[in-house]
Amino acid sequence: MPHEFRVSTHRRCEMIDITTSVRRAIAELGLSEGALVVFVPHTTAGVTIQENADPDVVHDFLMELAKIVPFEDGYRHAEGNSAAHLKTSLVGSSVHLLVERGEPLLGTWQGVYLCEFDGPRTRKVWVKAVGSGVV
Of the pair 52, 81, the CB lying nearest Zn ion is at 81
Task: Pick out residues in 44-103 that bind Zn ion (CB under 5 A).
Answer: 79, 81
Read out DSSP for 46-62?
EEEEEE-S-HHHHHHHH
Helix (H) or strand (E) holding 91: helix 82-91
Distance in Å, CB of 41 to Zn ion, minimum: 15
Taking the complex as a whole, the smallest distance from the CB of residue 75 to Zn ion amounts, in Å, to: 10
In the chain, the largest separation of any two C-alpha atoms, in whole Å, equals 51
- Give 25 or 116: the residue with its C-beta nearer to Zn ion: 116
Per rule CB under 5 A, count of chain residues that contact Zn ion: 2
Give the C-alpha distances (Å, rounded to integers) separating 107 from 13, 67, 84, 97, 133: 25, 28, 28, 11, 22
Report the nearest approach of Zn ion to the CB of residue 79 (Å): 4
Residues that bind Zn ion (CB under 5 A): 79, 81
